[in-house]
Amino acid sequence: QALNWGQGGEDAGTVQQVELDGENVLLLHKREEASGSLLPRAYTSTRIRGGHRYRITAEMRGTGTAQIIFSWRTEAGSGYVPNPVKLGDTFETFSAECDISKQAAALSAMFSFDRESSGDLWIRSVELTDLGVPAEMPEADLRHRLTTAADTLHEMKPHDLLVDDEGRAWNERLIFTDTGTGTELRRIDWDWSAGDISYSNRYPWSPDGSAFLMSSWERHGPLYFIVDPSGEPIVNRPVEGTSVRPRWESDPDYLYYGTPESVMRLNWRTGEAEEIFRVPEEIKHGGRPRLNWNMEIRGVVYYEQAFGTDAPLYFIDLNTGEWTRIPITTDSTGDPEDDWLYSAGFSKLRGQWWVS
């Protein structure tokens, strides 16, 4: 099938067919002032067989990093899978593969520079190959009878939807890709009762990249697992009584987590946990205790969920142990005494730390 090319983002550059060494090639030019944009793009669309795996192959040359992109749409959403490639001074053959949703009927193959690169991108000998039906992916969660649905929103947050027998989307399976090898790591974090996906907004890698944090939820509570990327076995580190989930700080050997009344530090290599802070008795008001922390400024926010501007809200300096009660202000248009203090934490604005 002939590939008929178009372009997107005329203000950022041009895409045209030119003659080079006696053959027709595509020349994509991205203006230097368009740095930060993914435009312009050279693209072509064609009808495909949904549920098949496809390969895009092309010879390219240029300076910087280009992207080979798969894009499709279904009634459930859209798929967008970029594959970065490093360009050279001479033509090199690059290829990328992708499993396309069963609901997709058309596929767009795109080429562009990444956000930081600009200049001339030469493209020739483009082929789109149908590789057939890939091996069936196993069910995502056999115990709870969840299976994978259409891939959606790959650029924003790569994930598979998880659906039950009635087609209800209970949760998502987040996908991580090693940009060096292209290996995909898919993990499930699923809670039948809550159905939340807050894990997707938590950075899993330790600061030096030596470990990867995963969690599992069952009736007895959360379990946290540490994966060593070098191939060592998974380390199971059960964390009991947590009210704030474990997260990394600057030291790659330690995870920090919160109980209702303390901040704990866990050495994930040895399994040893120690308490580094306990809420002083004199600032407890008998409400629902909550806390948050920041090891960059070595501070803790302690608060109790309650109505009104008199709800307890404190900052504790971990270096000195001194605490300060923080007055609560609100931009509510109603009665401030009807406002509920739900959560509090640290925010950095214009180089300064704030409790918000």
Each residue of 258-276: pLDDT tens digit? 887 888 898 888 888 899 9
Q: What is the Cα–Cα distance from 10 to 15, expressed in whole angstroms?
A: 8
Query: DSSP secondary structure string, 187-209?
Result: EE---TTT---GGGGS--B-TTS
Parent domain of 122 = 6-130
Q: What is the Cα–Cα distance from 241 to 259, expressed in whole angstroms?
A: 6
- Identify the pLDDT of residue 179: 54
One domain, residues 86 and 163: no
| Number of structural domains the chain divides into | 2
pLDDT bucket at 216, cuts 50 / 70 / 90: low
- The dihedral region occupied by 195, where left means phi > 0, alpha psi between -120 and 50, and beta the remainder, is left
132: how many CB neighbours lie within 10 A of its CB? 10
One domain, residues 72 and 177: no
Share of the chain above pLDDT 70, in %: 65
The residue among 76 and 119 whose pLDDT is bigger is 119
Of 201, 217, 247, the one marking the end of a domain is 201
One domain, residues 176 and 196: yes
Domain assignment of residue 238, yes or no: no
One domain, residues 63 and 179: no
Q: What is the Cα–Cα distance from 151 to 72, expressed in whole angstroms?
A: 10
One domain, residues 83 and 122: yes
One domain, residues 71 and 162: no
* Cα→Cα distances 262→115, 243, 273, 292, 316, Å: 44, 10, 12, 10, 12
In contact, 96 and 55? CB cutoff 8 Å: yes
Q: What is the CATH number of the domain that holds 114?
A: 2.60.120.260
One domain, residues 88 and 141: no
- Identify the pLDDT of residue 141: 45
Domain assignment of residue 66, yes or no: yes
Domain assignment of residue 264, yes or no: no
- Identify the pLDDT of residue 167: 59
**Is the predicted pLDDT of residue 341 greater than 70, yes or no?**
yes
One domain, residues 98 and 119: yes
Q: What is the Cα–Cα distance from 119 to 286, expressed in whole angstroms?
A: 64
Domain assignment of residue 63, yes or no: yes
SS (H, E, C) 46-96: EECCCCCEEEEEEEEECCCEEEEEEEEEECCEEEEEEEEEECCCCCEEEEE
* For the chain, counts of helices (H) and of strands (E): 0, 27
One domain, residues 122 and 146: no
One domain, residues 150 and 41: no
Of 170, 201, 232, the one marking the end of a domain is 201
One domain, residues 10 and 39: yes
Domain assignment of residue 108, yes or no: yes
